[in-house]
Structure 1
Amino acid sequence: MNVRAFSLLAFAGLTFAVFAQSTPSSSDSKPAVVAELFTSEGCSSCPPADALLVQMDGKTYAGAPIIVLSEHVDYWNHDGWRDPFSSEQWTQRQNDYNLRFRLDSVYTPQMVIDGSQQVNGSNGGQIGHAIETAAAQPGKLQITIADASWNNDVLHATVSVSDPSPQAAKGTTLYAVLADDQDTSNVAKGENSGRTLTHVSVVRVLQKVSSLHGPYSGPVEIKLPHGVNRSKMRLIVFAQKGQNGQIFGAAQREV
């Protein structure tokens, strides 16, 4: 069975083997691809996409590691259930993408691949094709994260970025994300009432680190938001162009 067909069957409830390929050798490996899922616990169409993101998490496809982000929007909160991970900030980020994509309106579940392609977050075939396209893009940056540690409720790390090409450097900003490794909710009301939902890489903080004009090495400090429990989390760093939203490189590590 070919890879594209397997990805289409994934949505039918089969194991998401399309993203479970063996890790390529170092000579064949490519920079990571970022998959952002805009989702909500108040949306009945979102649980399949959430489950798909769990299957994608930590996998490699088309020679590229996949870094996933779960960004919970807040515009479903009026339908009986307030998503505990939702934020207006993620709704605004989705709106910014939709302006670039020239869509008539926002929707969930929506997945954005490397900031440059948007697909239905439940469609394994579309997702696989978009990741394959993103993995083939040249000129990505090498990003590394070192010395990540907590000091009370502040995360400290050192981030390094390789010398970017003129195309990658122009108008590109380095961002840092603090995300829950995994969360589970027992939804009591709304469209998903009675369901237990599992999410991975749930974004809690997204902040600017620095504009990029050349190679970069410097500190990152992220304060844990009030009310967020510091258990197992992830630090994700990515470089994104402001003009068109394209992501030119990313890295992650557990903290």
Structure 2
Amino acid sequence: MITRWNLASAGLIAGLVCALGAIPALADRVANPQPGGSAGPVAIELFTSQGCSSCPPADALLERLATNPNVLALTRPVTYWDNLGWKDTLAREGNTNLQRAYAARGGVGAGVYTPQIMVQGTYGMVGSDEHAVRSYIAQARAHIGPAISVASQPDGSRTITIDGKAGPGDRVTVVALRSSVAVHIGRGENGGNQVRYTNVVLGEHVLANWSTNHAVVAVAAHLLHEDGADRAAVLVQQGSAGPILAARML
């Protein structure tokens, strides 16, 4: 069932998140970050909709968080508000399916609702609860791995090198993004408003399974510019909807 969570729910989730401490679900799979801040960014995914009146504050929060080099922020507009007066111009069924898969896995903040932020594909919370989101990002920094390095090639492609502890079902995905999109919403709960979205997911492709502790993966140039994308990111993730182990802008 689709729900929008109220402020009481946000406070409950924030309390649960703060009580969790470190992230044991990830700790046994990732390397400790090296001194000097060489760990990669924490991946956060915002499930949002142009038809959801509670979402613009979360959209604005994601825009602020995206300026932090220690955060890789993605916007994933969903489709299930489209029958309530306005069809989201950025929504993808793949985003809706991913959120449902996260919800089916369970855990803190699990569910199909907007706005929702998932941190490292592991724990969810109300997407406008800035304190909870920032607290969990800070905790997740202690469990980032593997290490991802990126090299640009003369033909516009990228070569990704991944070093860390590989596991069964791990995979490497490239995500094509639009860095900023301003949308004038004509009808529905946000009718008449203009909302700006940051790092909107336009397309994604599985590049390879990550089965060895050292792997080199090529990213073709056309995957970086799919459907008008102006940037791209790579995610190393357990399966199709498991914890995100590492992320990097390309």
Output the TM-score relative to the length of structure 1.
0.77
Post-superposition shift, 1:26? 6.9
Post-superposition shift, 1:244? 6.9
Relative distance call for 1:220 and 1:29 in structure 2 (3 A) is closer
Indicate the SS of the match to 1:249.
strand
Which residue number corresponds to residue 236 of structure 2? 239
Which residue number corresponds to residue 219 of structure 2? 220
Which of 124, 128, 132 does residue 122 from structure 1 map onto?
128
Tell me how far apart the structure 2 counterparts of residues 50 and 106 of structure 1 sit (CA, whole Å).
17
Using the aligned pairs only, state the percent identity: 29
Q: How does 1:118-157 map to 2 (within 5 A)?
A: 118-137=124-143, 140-147=145-152, 156-157=157-158
- Higher RCO (C-alpha under 8 Å, 6+ residues apart): 2
Post-superposition shift, 1:105? 4.3
Relative distance call for 1:29 and 1:143 in structure 2 (3 A) is closer
CA deviation map 1:139-172 (0-9, x unaligned): x1111222268x7xxx73221111x22xx43321
Q: How does 1:1-255 map to 2 (within 5 A)?
A: 27-60=36-69, 65-101=70-106, 105-137=111-143, 140-147=145-152, 156-162=157-163, 164-165=164-165, 168-214=166-212, 215-221=214-220, 222=223, 224-225=225-226, 228-229=227-228, 233-242=230-239, 245-253=242-250
Contact map agreement 1:160 1:217 (CA 8 A) in 2: yes
Contact map agreement 1:159 1:218 (CA 8 A) in 2: yes
Residue correspondences, number: 214
Post-superposition shift, 1:216? 1.2
Post-superposition shift, 1:30? 2.8
Relative distance call for 1:250 and 1:104 in structure 2 (3 A) is closer
Contact map agreement 1:116 1:244 (CA 8 A) in 2: no
* Bigger proportion of residues as helix: 2
Name stretches of at least 5 consecutive residues in structure 2 with no aligned partner: 1-10, 12-33
Post-superposition shift, 1:206? 1.3
Post-superposition shift, 1:29? 4.5
Contact map agreement 2:102 2:110 (CA 8 A) in 1: no
Tell me how far apart the structure 2 counterparts of residues 146 and 74 of structure 1 sit (CA, whole Å).
35
* Bigger proportion of residues as strand: 1
Post-superposition shift, 1:218? 2.4
Tell me how far apart the structure 2 counterparts of residues 143 and 90 of structure 1 sit (CA, whole Å).
24
Contact map agreement 2:43 2:119 (CA 8 A) in 1: yes
Tell me how far apart the structure 2 counterparts of residues 146 and 29 of structure 1 sit (CA, whole Å).
17
Indicate the SS of the match to 2:139.
helix
Tell me how far apart the structure 2 counterparts of residues 200 and 159 of structure 1 sit (CA, whole Å).
24
RMSD: 2.4
Output the TM-score relative to the length of structure 2.
0.79
Q: Write the letter of the residue equivalent to 1:252.
A: M
Point out the more displaced range, 124-133 or 85-94: 124-133
Tell me how far apart the structure 1 counterparts of residues 67 and 224 of structure 2 sit (CA, whole Å).
25
Name stretches of at least 5 consecutive residues in structure 1 with no aligned partner: 1-7, 9-24
